[in-house]
Amino acid sequence: DQQVKQNSPSLSVQEGRISILNCDYTNSMFDYFLWYKKYPAEGPTFLISISSIKDKNEDGRFTVFLNKSAKHLSLHIVPSQPGDSAVYFCAASDDYKLSFGAGTTVTVRA
Amino acid sequence: GAGVSQSPRYKVAKRGQDVALRCDPISGHVSLFWYQQALGQGPEFLTYFQNEAQLDKSGLPSDRFFAERPEGSVSTLKIQRTQQEDSAVYLCASSLETSMNFGPGTRLTVT
């Protein structure tokens, strides 16, 4: 059973506009949430994270929002750039183990 | 500095063959993880080491899968009698505290 779900397999956005990626989870024991970015033939690289005691974390163009009551988090990328084209994975942590969503492929159009 | 490295990057095995996948973590990283990523899916946890101790192997799909990290550094994931459903990318990750650093993965194709 998937504890972390990314319901949008793909997202296409114009350069300069905002990209919004969504993620839902079911396990209320998750205490830390992360977003990873993956290019083809490379491993996932850490992008941004948020603790369950916060509702927002911002790092440059990337902002993660957490809504614990809805068990939902989102990643905002603004402005989107061509180099942002990649697969984005949402992950949630319960102690040392990460549970991942299936990923959302983002394509930034020039 | 060097990141997590894995070898081989690609492996083709005939069904029934044994394979061994190697992971060199970042020097000094205590924690090491193996994940399996099937096509179109996110990575799924296989096993976790703290130094040489395998603290969690609950994600290993069957007893054909075996992982070791004898000296607390390099780790090997061994799959015996490979089956087609073992075809996936096997990712190794190491960490010091909270942030996990992934290697590039080994893509295993079982024919």
What's the average pLDDT block by block, 10 residues per block, for chain B (111 residues)? 91 98 96 96 96 97 97 97 97 88 97 97
Query: Is the CB of B42 less than 8 angstroms away from the CB of A101?
Result: yes
Given a contact cutoff of 8 angstroms between Cβ atoms, the answer to whether A74 and A65 are in contact is yes
Q: Which of A8, A97, A99, A105 should one mutate to test binding to chain B, selecting the residue with the greatest count of B CBs within 10 A?
A: A97
Q: Is A42 on the interface with B (CB under 8 A)?
A: yes
C-alpha B3/C-alpha A45 separation (Å) is 11
Given a contact cutoff of 8 angstroms between Cβ atoms, the answer to whether B44 and B34 are in contact is no
Judge whether residue A58 has pLDDT over 60: yes
The tens digit of pLDDT for each residue in A14-56 reads: 999 999 999 999 999 999 999 999 999 899 999 999 999 999 9
Beta strand extents in B1-111 (DSSP E only): 5-7, 10-13, 19-24, 31-37, 44-50, 53-56, 65-68, 75-79, 88-95, 100-102, 106-110
Judge whether residue A94 has pLDDT over 90: no
Question: What confidence score (pLDDT) does residue B1 get?
Answer: 54
Count of H helices and E strands in chain A?
0, 11
Q: Is A100 on the interface with B (CB under 8 A)?
A: yes
Given a contact cutoff of 8 angstroms between Cβ atoms, the answer to whether B102 and A45 are in contact is yes
Tell me how many residue pairs between chain A and chain B have CB atoms under 8 A apart. Answer: 49
Nearest CA to A90 among A100, A76, A105?
A: A100
Q: Which residues contact A69 (CB under 8 A, 6 or more apart)?
A: none
List of chain A residues whose C-beta atoms are within 8 Å of the C-beta of residue B42: 4, 6, 89, 91, 100-103
- Nearest-CB residue to A43 (from B45, B98, B105): B105
C-alpha A62/C-alpha A48 separation (Å) is 7
Partners of B97 in beta bridges? none
Question: What confidence score (pLDDT) does residue A2 get?
Answer: 85
Given a contact cutoff of 8 angstroms between Cβ atoms, the answer to whether A97 and B43 are in contact is no
Given a contact cutoff of 8 angstroms between Cβ atoms, the answer to whether A68 and A74 are in contact is no
Read off φ and ψ for residue B6, nearest 5 degrees: -135, 145
Q: Measure in Å the smallest separation between the Cα of B88 and chain A Cα atoms.
A: 13
Is residue A90 very low, low, confident or very high in pLDDT (cuts 50, 70, 90)?
very high
- Nearest-CB residue to A42 (from B41, B99, B104): B104
Q: Measure in Å the smallest separation between the Cα of B63 and chain A Cα atoms.
A: 21
β-bridge pairing B5-7 and A10-14: unpaired
Given a contact cutoff of 8 angstroms between Cβ atoms, the answer to whether B64 and B80 are in contact is yes
